[in-house]
Structure 1
Amino acid sequence: MNFRLQKLVIQFGRSREEIGLDHHLTIFHGKISSGKSTIAKLIDACLGGSLPQVPAIKQEFVSAELSARIGRYDVLFERNAGSRQVQVSWTSESGDGASLMAPIENAPSPIWGDKVFGLSDLIFELAGVGPMRVRRNKTDPDAPLIPLSFRDVMWYCYLDQDELDSTFFHLEAEDPRSPKSRDVMRFVLGYYTERLNELEQQLAREVEDNRTKTESARRMKLFLTELGYGSELEMNVRLSELERSQERRDRQLAELQENQEADTHFSDDLRTELRGLAVRIEAETEAIANGERILSEETALRGELISAKFKLHRMSSATVILGAVEYTACPRCGTELAEFARHPTDCHLCGAPEKAQSNYERRQTNVEQPDLDARLADIEQSISTRKKSLIKQQRELDVLKEQKSFRDSELTRLMRSYDSAFLSQVRNLERELASGRQEIIGLRRDARLPQALLELEYEADQHLTNAQRIRRELKSERDRIADRDNLVGQLESYVFDALMSSGFPALSTSDSLYINRKNWMAYIFPHGDESLSYTLSGAGSGGKKTLFNICYAVALHRLAEELDLPLPLFVIIDSPMKNIGTEVNKDIFIAFYKHLYGLLSTTMTKTQFIIIDTELSTPTIDLDYTDRLMIAGDAEHPPLIPYYSGH
């Protein structure tokens, strides 16, 4: 899955921090209480995770912005303090994009299109895989599909130090999250391919359509029985009888009208009504044209606002970068700056107070961004309301046109009728004609029911046939991936290789590693003896558990990149040396990083790694690498919140 992190921007009460992430390897190291883990937690929070609950964040955090490249889109995630929603804005190279407020938990109705209900669905949609659905009951082919959340996938991409030595990716049987975690493993390793997911969704739709149309056909048959018609033939016979009766009444009325002189005084009111209808139709037509023009203008304005949002984001970053430049000459003409008395905090170019400039820039950033968001929300609401209004106006116009058409025919008919001594006979015939006409209209409408019933039953049969075909394709797809045990075997070898290369205690080449295909837990067999097997819970020390977890994650992402499996190509590991110690277990510390850096330079050239640790192991090979030392109270190597002292 093409998902690359680019930059994290954090707005605190008195500072704005920009953290570059667009590297192959990014390492944050230093002393405790410097904000290293908070960086990882805020990345996770922008993707739907929980906001950090440490005192510094509770007191100083305002908002966070995460820039990423997902599929073919540049995406900006914005999360405010205390919010359970994420503002997501995206744009592609062709210029199409949008911005909306995505709830972390799925909304009851779609927030974008007809399949996206929340942030997780939106991320999958932008990645080009569509909202993921897995079958609730794996043994029932007709069981309903439930969403697979991006938060479930993040368990394998973000290894939080709080869980490194306590859970094996939530796969334990007693963990209520284990079914979702197993679904992730099935999907990533090809036991649940995108093709399989697509086929299962198609099967679910065909089964549901078959049920719906079969039930509709049953109800239609009951309706026809209540009308007293058992078949289409009976309805046609009745229709023929009614049409002959209408022809007879028409002849009688024509004979009466031919013997009398016409008088048209009664048609004046009808003409007035027709003129009024014509005026209303013209007004409605003009209103619809104006509404469509305004809708087009608002749609164009929405695109301009989204573009302005990205420009403002880039401008704020440029301001921070250029504000730190020490100028020795005029950037426009090259003239050296004249020496004259300035306060040390004044601007080196113009002499303005530097603090005032910074406050102005921060104020501008804080003011303009919410204004754009509010304006975007107003535009989206206006577009939605105007579309509904246009649909309503079009319906009203259709009704007016139908009324005018009926009045036109009525005027034509009345012009041929007249008040006379035979008025009672004429009115009686007209009542019979109107009644017969309505019955014929109703019967002609109902006469379509038998044909519609046949079509409905045919379509239901087609859905059933399609469902049978899809089941065959599903079986073929499952047979095709039946050799995925070989893929799991490859994962087993990668995990074992990572453990051996990292110096996992008490592990020898005579041991073996096995991954259970049902619960996806990894077990170590000492000397190949299954009776002595143990997994994370039996690994013993917290350090061994931590190493067990990170080696499994590294091996899984190694396999994902090599075989292009559907897993985001980034890994965040918070404290890989937790419970291990870089002094006492220095050999493990060096061995793990040597193994990881070797993979990054060979088979894992696309996967981003963000590592948070107390000590730094500098790569000795050529990598796109950056590190940041963070020490609380150190101005040269400041913590995440430079001014925060913990008071």
Structure 2
Amino acid sequence: MMQINFYSLNLNCRKSQETIDLDHQVLFFHGKVSSGKSSIARLINFCLGGSLERTIAIQKELISVSLELGVGKYKVLLERNAASSANVTATCVDDQGKSFAVNVPVNAALAPVYANKVYSLSDLIFYLLDINVLRVPAKKNDQESSSLVRLTLKNFMWYCYLDQSKLDSSFFRLEDGTKTRSSKEILKYVFQYSTQKLIELQEKLQKKKKERFSKQLTAEGLREFLKKFEFSNEDEINLLETKTKNKLEKAKEEKKKVEQGYTSSTHTVDQLRHSIREIIDDLTRLEQGVIDIDKRIEQQESLKSELVASKFKVAKNQTVANVFHGIAFVNCPDCGTNISKRKVQEDSCKLCLSPVGIDKPEASQQSELIQIDLTERIKELESSIDLHKKALNKSKKEFGAKQKIRRELDQKLQHDLKQYESVFLSNVRSLDNTVSTLNERLKSIQRMKVMPREITKLENEAIDIIKEERELKRKINEETANFVRGEQLIEELEKTFLKIMNDVGMPGVSKKDKVSINRSTWEVNILPAGEDYLRWNFYNAGSGGKKTLFNSCFLLAIHIVASKNNLPLPTFIIIDTPMKNIDKEVNSDIFKSFFDLLYKVASTVLDKTQIIIIENNYIPPDKKIKIDFFHRYMESGNEQNPPLIPYYQGP
């Protein structure tokens, strides 16, 4: 069983803090209209993740609300803000004193908020009860391929809390299509027409199917994609690889030929290079010749100058000798020394003491010969210089002509090389691109060789998953075949429901009648005297009071069977106005019978179930019945029996 018991409800209002004691097995809240009786049940449901009807009093005065309760072996405090109520703060303490607190969303979050498995408040309650989160197929007629949706505590609340506003509506929420399936799945789960093991097997089957579909779709998509590029199987890829290798080798050979052809084809400019080298040699030779001639001319010019100077010097000496011949020097013309008294030999010069002839006719002749010789030498040098200058001019002209030819050959060589290399580089670049492209294509093909293997691997994995699915289906069928216990429980529910209606005195029901619950639609039918053609149910029960009583009795029957057989159902019942639409004065026997039965089962089979009744009229239990009973009368403006928010005065 899902052991859940309430201890207290705490209201944080603008002007006060109110505590409602809930620590009793049976609680009866009664009183006048607008005293806040129904709000107690709604606030309990609100703390458990339900919605809240925001009455004017709630809107104006309530700030937050908290619920103290026991969940399994834990004591829990649930706190929820009345205004922004998307989250609930839960503080939990186990029987060993270990505690934790967590802020959990009312609706499931995208990521776990606690223990790697708690996504919502409902998950937290299941976690504290040590129950796995329940999931059922989203679609009614597609148990195998439909996605799974989680069942929450809200779904269980349909069989624990009968709200006054929906008390005369169907348990199965047929007026709300989104909840119909979930409400029936809860009954199937509680009465073992759907076990936790079956739900887990179905969940595993769904995961396996999704995994298989994913692998199959991936494999099919990849195979279709590869077909466009002739990659659908390994043989095609090998053939394409061979073709690509052949193309690559051919491109490499062409590139090699072009590179080899570059060396051999350059002979067209080799002759130009040879001519240029010859001209360079000639220019070097001419340049050196010009330098040599320049030096020779320079030397001869220098020699000519010296000869001219010598000629003038000889002529001058002769003139001086003639001028000074026969002069008797008293003093030296150079230093002024008196040389008149110096004894000199007769055949020597008084001035320089050199021996001299008496007449010296040879000196004069020799001077003339020297002059003639110098003149001839000068003429010869002038003639030689002239010849060298002519040779120099010729060499310079030849040098200039050679330079011009060299420039022309250089330009032609550059033009020819540029033109040839441009074509060569273009060809080489094109072949390089081809080789590079084929290399990359070959690498891609080699990588692609793995793809068909991976596709085959995915397909084989999908086949293996099909085997796993078959095994899971077999286990599901085995589990479903074991629903003998579930059939027995449903039969017990049918009998218990009929007995309760008879004990309460449901109009139009007798002990001879039969209750039939459809195992497929879970529709609850009453067969008068067992006759199927006279069947009636909740929808054609007639009066609103009869529908209300029908639901209240069916809820008690569910909890009685669940308690007797330790079935997974929360151990509390909240019924807001079970006698709705039933007049107490006119139907006092029904009132008394219902509450007598309620107190009786509370003291016996439902002794571990907490029951909260909200009703306008108060009917106490018989003194012979021993139960933990508490009642509270509530009336607006009554200080002794105040409403839910004592100070509030308003609608």
TM-score, normalised with respect to structure 1: 0.63
Aligned counterparts, 1:321-340, within 5 A: none
Shift of 1:479: 1.4
Gaps of 5+ in 1: 250-430
Alpha-carbon distance in 2 for matches of 1:182, 1:574: 22
Give the letter aligned to residue 488 of structure 1.
I
1:171–1:520: 8 Å Cα contact kept in structure 2? no
Q: Alignment partner of 1:628: what SS?
A: strand
Q: Alignment partner of 1:162: what SS?
A: helix
Residue of structure 1 aligned with 2:466, choices 439, 464, 467: 464
Residue of structure 2 aligned with 1:623, choices 601, 623, 627: 627
Shift of 1:126: 4.7
Aligned counterparts, 1:3-18, within 5 A: 3-18=4-19
* Aligned match of 1:643: 647
* Aligned match of 1:388: none
* Aligned match of 1:24: 25
Alpha-carbon distance in 2 for matches of 1:537, 1:500: 20
Alpha-carbon distance in 1 for matches of 2:195, 2:235: 51
Residue of structure 2 aligned with 1:146, choices 144, 149, 153: 149
1:65–1:79: 8 Å Cα contact kept in structure 2? yes
* Aligned match of 1:137: 140
Give the letter aligned to residue 645 of structure 2.
I
Alpha-carbon distance in 1 for matches of 2:175, 2:34: 35
Residue of structure 1 aligned with 2:166, choices 163, 168, 189: 163
Aligned counterparts, 1:52-71, within 5 A: 52-71=53-72
Residue of structure 2 aligned with 1:514, choices 513, 516, 522: 516
Aligned counterparts, 1:22-171, within 5 A: 22-71=23-72, 73-91=74-92, 93=94, 95=98, 97-104=100-107, 106=108, 109-110=110-111, 112=113, 118-127=120-129, 128-164=131-167, 166-171=168-173
Cα root mean square deviation, aligned: 4.1
Gaps of 5+ in 2: 253-432
* Aligned match of 2:213: 211
* Aligned match of 1:419: none
Q: Alignment partner of 2:7: what SS?
A: strand
Shift of 1:229: 5.2
Give the letter aligned to residue 631 of structure 1.
E
* Aligned match of 1:561: 563
1:168–1:521: 8 Å Cα contact kept in structure 2? no
Give the letter aligned to residue 476 of structure 1.
E
Shift of 1:571: 0.9
Shift of 1:85: 0.9
Shift of 1:43: 1.0
Residue of structure 2 aligned with 1:202, choices 204, 222, 243: 204
- Cα-to-partner distance string for 1:253-278 (whole Å, 9 max, x where unaligned): xxxxxxxxxxxxxxxxxxxxxxxxxx
Deviating more after overlay: 53-62 vs 611-620: 611-620
Give the letter aligned to residue 622 of structure 1.
K
Alpha-carbon distance in 1 for matches of 2:123, 2:136: 10
Q: Alignment partner of 1:64: what SS?
A: strand
| Structure 1 residues 101 and 135, CA gap change in structure 2 (3 angstroms) | closer
Shift of 1:199: 1.3
Give the letter aligned to residue 56 of structure 2.
P
| Structure 1 residues 4 and 433, CA gap change in structure 2 (3 angstroms) | farther
Alpha-carbon distance in 2 for matches of 1:96, 1:445: 56
* Aligned match of 2:554: 552
Q: Alignment partner of 2:30: what SS?
A: strand
1:73–1:90: 8 Å Cα contact kept in structure 2? no
Shift of 1:68: 3.2
| Structure 1 residues 537 and 590, CA gap change in structure 2 (3 angstroms) | same
TM-score, normalised with respect to structure 2: 0.63
Q: Alignment partner of 1:132: what SS?
A: strand
* Aligned match of 1:533: 535
1:134–1:183: 8 Å Cα contact kept in structure 2? no
| Structure 1 residues 446 and 76, CA gap change in structure 2 (3 angstroms) | farther
* Aligned match of 2:404: none
- Cα-to-partner distance string for 1:105-153 (whole Å, 9 max, x where unaligned): x55x345478766544554455422143334133553222233343332
Count of matched residue pairs: 472
2:224–2:232: 8 Å Cα contact kept in structure 1? no
Give the letter aligned to residue 99 of structure 1.
V
- Cα-to-partner distance string for 1:222-249 (whole Å, 9 max, x where unaligned): 5655666565688799999999x9xxx9
Alpha-carbon distance in 1 for matches of 2:491, 2:630: 34
* Aligned match of 1:193: 195
Q: Alignment partner of 1:553: what SS?
A: helix
1:125–1:131: 8 Å Cα contact kept in structure 2? no
Q: Percent identity?
A: 35
* Aligned match of 2:578: 576
1:242–1:436: 8 Å Cα contact kept in structure 2? yes
Alpha-carbon distance in 2 for matches of 1:87, 1:597: 34
Q: Alignment partner of 1:629: what SS?
A: strand
Give the letter aligned to residue 196 of structure 1.
L
1:575–1:611: 8 Å Cα contact kept in structure 2? yes
Shift of 1:192: 2.1
Shift of 1:572: 0.4
| Structure 1 residues 504 and 563, CA gap change in structure 2 (3 angstroms) | same
1:116–1:122: 8 Å Cα contact kept in structure 2? yes
* Aligned match of 1:387: none
2:76–2:91: 8 Å Cα contact kept in structure 1? yes
Alpha-carbon distance in 2 for matches of 1:437, 1:97: 63
